[in-house]
Amino acid sequence: MTSWTPKLTNVQGTDGTTSDGEFVDANGVVTFTAMIVARKETNSASDAGFGLTLPVPAKVTGARTVFQLSLDGRSADHGVWTGEAQIYAGSDGKSIDRLRVTGTSNGAAVQNITHLYGDAEGVTDAEIITVSGSYIRA
């Protein structure tokens, strides 16, 4: 496995997160796991929410590529949410376009992740986002 440092995209101001990632690039397929830890309060630059850099650009196939996502709210949100990370069909393949989790009002609906508490409002153990999956290398 190869280490890499994933970064959130579409961040407003300072990115208050730290990250760690590992990936394997073999036979044209990239398999990865990325972990983002909120250390300071972080907001997205728009209601589209955060995206995430990839270790190796993905081949854009004309179809969306979807990965598994988990958001552990720890002491910030007091819960764990499942979700998805998507590369859109029209993307350049350099990053994941959207990070989304199930909403609190309708468990079947997903919403863009637009805010991470980090250390805001007295939080001591803030959110952890984990994204994992495989895709075809560009």
pLDDT at 18 over 80: yes
User: CA–CA separation, 99 vs 66, rounded Å?
Assistant: 10
pLDDT at 14 over 70: yes
Bigger pLDDT: 69 vs 103? 69
pLDDT at 104 over 80: no
pLDDT at 52 over 70: yes
What's this model's pTM, rounded to 2 decimal places?
0.91
Structural domains in the chain, CATH included, are 2-136 (2.60.90)
Bigger pLDDT: 110 vs 86? 86
pLDDT of residue 77: 65
**How many CB atoms sit inside 10 A of residue 21's CB?**
23
pLDDT of residue 55: 98
HEC string for the chain: CEEECCCEECEECCCCEEEEEEEEEECCEEEEEEEEEECCCEEECCCCCCEEECCCCECCCCCCEEEEEEEECHHHHCCEEEEEEEECCCCCCCEECEEEEECCCCCCCEEECCEECCCHHHCCCCCEEEEEEEEEEC
pLDDT of residue 76: 59
Cβ contacts of 107 within 8 Å, gap of 6 or more: none
pLDDT at 105 over 80: no
Least Cα distance to 83 among 75, 96, 46, 11 occurs for 96
